[in-house]
Amino acid sequence: MKNTAKFALTTLTVAMLAACSDDKTNDAPASPVVPEVKQLELPAVQKDSAWFKEAKSAVTEDLARTVNANKGAAKNIILFVGDGMGISTVTAARILEGQMQGGMGEEHQISFETLPFVGLSKTYNTNQQTPDSAGTMTAMTTGVKSKAGVLNIDESVARQDCTGSQGKELTTIAELAELKGKSTGIVSTARITHATPAAVYAKSPDRDYEYEAPAGCKDIALQMIEFAAGDGLDVVMGGGRRNFLPNTLVDVEGKKGKRKDNRNLVDEWKTKNPGGVYVETQAEFDAIPATSTRIMGLFNDSHMRYEADRKNDVKGEPSLSQMTAKSIEALSKNDKGYFLMVEAGRIDHGHHAGSAYNALTDTVELAKAVKVAMDKTSVEDTLIIVTADHSHVFTIAGYPTRGNPILGKVVGNNANGVAQNTPVLASDNMPYTTVGYLNGLGYASLGSETDGDVRYNSAADAGRKDLTAVDTTSPGFHQEALVPLSGGETHAGEDVGIFSRGPGAHLLTGTVEQNFIFHVMSYAGDLLP
């Protein structure tokens, strides 16, 4: 930004060509009009602007960018998936993190926004315009789109058709990586048997077969333990302990197992992995030996806590960034490299519940995890991809002034563009928040004892509420929604972002089908047979 060289801008002022000559008899062509050339000096207020200088410098830096298009150049591949992390979620999380650090927010960049290549992913399932996580993750892990609710089964099979699914299973990128001698790992804040992490290793005609399945199908937890490609999954960290334990057993946090076949898959994993380390609590996680290469951590009976709520866990559980760091340390001991999938699984749940606070603070934690990966790997040999499976009906609206709290009520500018002191009132004379949802449960936090019956007997409470006296930035607030849906807020169908760096990353630009991501990973890692 120190470049003080004068910046001469040459412009061509093109005069109008001569009009028709009055001399109709003169057939000679008119002399060409020579454009008038002016040497302009940009005004100091422009060229000395920080906006101008920083963006100009960024162009210079980008000109030095190189790409590595060599097949197999990516020794390591890390795929980050923010479940439900649409573009508006990324933008709001950027502003929130910036404001949490004392800035205005809009100018801030979360870690993966500094990655050099960005594209857009078309997320629809083969049978659904707005997708679910099973079908979308199948696209990313197999290179083939399929139906909603289905994990790594061809689209020709009906959901829940166990018989029909046999012989229609798709090979996943984790299997390919294992067969190339690489290590493999999955990390998620959701149950490790939940749709997104399950799509790394399982084949099931229904995502819900997490701990039991009809005849002809095998439940997802069992498939994880029996994952046979190469030497099996090397690192597994997440929630979902109950799906590995018999329903006669109570776990370390007082929760009961779900399995009805009386199998204890945790014990079976320990038997199969005598050198492995199994952990369930923060303390055990912290004590994992640095030499470990085989780890299974199941830190919650169901989903792990929201990052904002992690301190309330009974036995303590690690953050997504801590799990990411530990996973990379373990996997990187393999000279042939690794494939790691990291999911921020609860962004989706925060949105479904209409809680922007939880969705955004979990997105901020995802950004922290990506930063860990960026710091622990080399751009020369590691392809890092950050994307989402689908979006949510989450919007950033109104005309809030610069730096307005992203979770706050809209405070606008006056006619001179200067921030006002009080929230803007909508046509119903009530304030409104910047972020909100098109559908869902709606706002229901009016509930004190004295006004509890405001929501008396309502299944969902969409529409407008008087937020005048409400702190909309508090963790317990959930935003208004237009369309009432008791089942919760829904996914959205627009494209999601793909942020990347490393070998092959330059291919992840433009607007691509979601299954294209698999093909970039498999090319960059030379994984296809």
Partner 1 sequence: MKKTGQILLLTMAVTGWMSVTQATPLSDNECPQAANAAFRVIYENSQHPEQTQVVWCYQGDVAWETPANGVVQWWHREPNQQVSMIRLFGSEQRGIAFESTDLRILGKQVDAGSLTTLAGDGWVIRQKDSQTETVAARFAQWKQWDTVDFADIGDMEADPFIRKMINIGFIEDNHVTAYYADGQPIKSEHGHHH
Instruction: Dump the DSSP string for 415-480.
Output: TTS-B-SSPPB-TTS-B-BSEEEEEESB--TT-STTTGGGGTT-S-B-S----TT--TTSTT----
Active-site residue, selected from the candidate residues 133, 183, 355, 391 = 133
Smallest distance from the beta carbon of 134 to partner 1, in angstroms? 9
Known catalytic residue: 133? yes
Q: Give the contact letters, 69-98, x = binds to partner 1 (CB under 8 A), - = no.
A: ------------------------------
Length of the chain in terms of residues written: 529
* Helical (H) or strand (E) element with 296: strand 295-298
Long-range CB pairs of 154-158, under 8 A, 24+ apart, other chains included: 155/126, 155/127, 157/205, 158/205
Q: Is 107 or 208 the residue whose CB approaches partner 1 more closely?
A: 208
Smallest distance from the beta carbon of 249 to partner 1, in angstroms? 13
The backbone torsions φ and ψ at residue 374, rounded to the nearest 5 degrees and listed phi first, read -65, -40
Does residue 361 bind partner 1 (CB under 8 A)? no
Question: Which residues, 128 to 157, sit near partner 1 by CB under 8 A?
Answer: 132-133, 148-149
Q: Which of 174, 342, 384, 460 binds partner 1 (CB under 8 A)?
A: 460
Q: Is 185 or 197 the residue whose CB approaches partner 1 more closely?
A: 197
Smallest distance from the beta carbon of 301 to partner 1, in angstroms? 10
φ/ψ region of 446 (left if φ > 0, alpha if ψ in -120 to 50, else beta) reads alpha
Does residue 66 bind partner 1 (CB under 8 A)? no
Does residue 329 bind partner 1 (CB under 8 A)? no
Q: Which of 92, 177, 192, 195 binds partner 1 (CB under 8 A)?
A: 195
Which 3 state secondary structure label does DSSP give 102? coil
Q: Is 178 or 362 the residue whose CB approaches partner 1 more closely?
A: 362
Amino acid letter for position 516:
F
Question: Which residues, 258 to 317, sit near partner 1 by CB under 8 A?
Answer: 302-303, 305-306, 309, 312, 314
Q: Which of 175, 219, 362, 461 binds partner 1 (CB under 8 A)?
A: 461
Q: Is 117 or 443 the residue whose CB approaches partner 1 more closely?
A: 443
Amino acid letter for position 523:
Y
Does residue 355 bind partner 1 (CB under 8 A)? yes
With beta carbons less than 8 A apart as the criterion, state whether 128 and 138 touch. no
Smallest distance from the beta carbon of 156 to partner 1, in angstroms? 19
Using the contact rule CB under 8 A, the part of the chain among 67-75, 102-110, 343-351, 414-422 near partner 1 is 343-351
In whole angstroms, what is the distance from residue 228 CA to residue 57 CA? Answer: 50
Long-range CB pairs of 310-317, under 8 A, 24+ apart, other chains included: 313/282, 314/253, 314/254, 315/252, 315/253, 315/280, 315/281, 315/282, 315/283, 316/281, 316/282, 316/283, 317/281, 317/282, 317/285
Q: Tokens 């990973």 appear where? A: 521
Bridge-based pairing of strands 338-344 and 76-82 is: parallel
Q: Which of 333, 459, 466, 510 binds partner 1 (CB under 8 A)?
A: 459
Does residue 390 bind partner 1 (CB under 8 A)? no
Binding site for partner 1 (CB under 8 A): 132-133, 148-149, 159, 195, 207-208, 253-254, 256, 302-303, 305-306, 309, 312, 314, 346, 348-355, 358, 441, 444-461, 475-476, 478, 485-490
- Active-site residues, by number, are 133
